[in-house]
Amino acid sequence: MHKIASAAFADTKPHYILLDGLRGVAALMVIWYHIFEAFATSPVDQHFNHGYLAVDFFFILSGFVIGYAYDDRWKTMKVKDFIKRRLIRLHPMVIMGAILGAITFYIQGSVKWDGSKVSLSMLMLALLINLFLIPAAPGSGPEVRGNGEMYPLNGPSWSLFFEYIGNILYALFIRRLSAKALAVLVLLAGIGLASFAIFNFSGYGHLGVGWTMAGHNLIGGFLRLLFSFSAGVLMSRKFKPVEVKGAFWICSLAIIILLSIPHIGEAEALWMNGIYDALCTLVIFPILVYLGASGTTTGKSSIKICKFLGDISYPLYMVHYPFMYLFYAWVWQENLTFTQIWPITLLLFLGTILVAYLFLKLYDEPFRKWLSKKLLMKS
């Protein structure tokens, strides 16, 4: 099985290069999902529809990788050291996403979706709480866009809020569970998540919840995290590779299809899309992660593709959405269709990849290296 050493920390275990590549493929699908949001009036008529499920895939990957990397290190590692490592890995891009969000919001005119003006002081307050990953309550002053987002300057930060909770739960609780107890937790969380999806507790007819504190979103977000992250940890403990050829390409194709399929069922049959979401999250995604971890790759080009996709996946996820806000404002103001501006959408897609790569090389990697020297060498 081909693994490569981590570039972030010299003392960490090698990691699964194919899983890195799959994370990158899922991140690319998120970009297209968000692009097509500009041309939909509801989830039902959004043609490129299920990109929101990439978050569940990310949570499973995260649990698997963290369980693999840290489960056997707690005799020598303290909780605070684990938290330091996760902050170093994740928070620099949280900061950058918030700053980009503030800049693009200001460029857009510092106005809410309803056209009302937001003061510069309130924008700075929104930036401050986003920098520390403090969620904004719907209708509060720092909720500057007026559409209920927990992180209105950079919407995708909501999943980092839950990722941090997952890391804390792992350090304090999940890692101490036996495999049987963890399996029970996964089963109960899975039942809760399936019920949430099928019986439409989101109110949207899908599992794209957690981004706001309104309604049942927080409950849905916690269920998404608890099942997927815990399932990933459990899989890392029970993992025994199976022989599979072409795992990266098979799994990549599956992810592309699963995350791009249109909404299933009409507005009167939202339970159908709920079943689809539940099947993807509870059954198919764990299988894909398992196959991806089992796969081997020997070709230099495949290794380079997987490494590139893995490297840019997190920066891409964290910096693309501020530009989407500008894109949405332009599309809606001019009443444009995808057919009219598809070349622009392609440029936006490629441009966000380029921007993510530049932030990776010029900001994220150097900053994490500096933080590692400052915070980890003293431990």
Q: pLDDT tens for residues 242-293?
A: 988 899 999 999 999 999 999 999 888 899 999 999 999 999 999 999 999 9
Say if residue 303's pLDDT is above 50.
yes
Evaluate whether 61 touches 163 at the Cβ level (below 8 Å): no
Determine the pLDDT at residue 9. Answer: 35
Mean pLDDT computed over every residue of the chain: 94
Strand partners, 15: 4
3-state secondary structure at position 16: strand
- pLDDT tens sequence across 56-76: 999 999 999 999 999 999 999
**What is the token pair recorded at 379?**
């431990």
Question: Cα separation of 346 and 350, whole Å?
Answer: 6
Q: In sequence order, which residues have a C-beta less than 8 Å from that of residue 264 and are 6 or more positions away?
A: 272, 273, 275, 276
What is the CB-side half-sphere exposure of residue 13 using CA atoms within 13 A?
A: 13
Predicted confidence at residue 300, as pLDDT, reads: 85
Torsion angles phi and psi, residue 15, rounded to 5:
-130, 170
Q: What's the pLDDT tens digit per position in 136-146?
A: 999 999 999 99
Q: Where are the alpha helices (DSSP H) in 108-172?
A: 120-131, 157-172
pLDDT at 123 over 60: yes
pLDDT at 128 over 90: yes
Range of the domain at 33: 3-376
Number of separate domains in the chain? 1
Compare 42 and 342 and report the one with higher pLDDT: 342
Contact assessment for residue 235 and residue 290, using Cβ atoms and an 8 Å cutoff: yes
